[in-house]
Amino acid sequence: MVKTKHHRLATCRNGGVPYNGEIFGIPNVIKLPEKKHNDFHQLFPDTHPVEIAKVLNDSYIDPHYVMVAIPRHKSREVEKLLKQIL
C-alpha cells in the first residue's frame, strides 16, 4: 500500500514551513494511504474545517447527530459545556 504525506493544516493555509512539524503537540504531516488522501482532497479541496463539517452534516452524518469544528484552543471550554448538557 502506497502512503503519501498529508498536511493536516494545508500548506495553502500556512501549514507548510514552519508547520511541517507539530501544532499543539500534534503532528501536522501524517502518512495516509494514497487512495484515502486523494479521496479527501477530491471531497474537500482547500476547504476550511467548518465547511468540511457542514458538508458532512448535510450529506453523510446520521441526522440524529451534528459534527462541529471547534478551534483546538477552545476545545476544553466546549468539552466542559458538553458535559453539563449530556
- Domain edges within the chain: 1-45, 47-86
Q: What is the pLDDT of residues 57-78, one digit of tens each?
A: 999 999 999 999 999 999 999 9
On average, the pLDDT of the chain sits at 92
pLDDT of residue 86: 84
Q: What is the mean pLDDT of residues 11-23?
A: 79
**pLDDT value at position 29?**
93
Question: Coil, strand, or helix at residue 52?
Answer: helix
The predicted model gives 31-41 an average pLDDT of 97
Q: Which residue is it, cell 466542559?
A: 80
What is the torsional sign of CA 52, 53, 59, 61? positive
Which of 24, 20, 2 lies closest to 10, judged by CA? 20
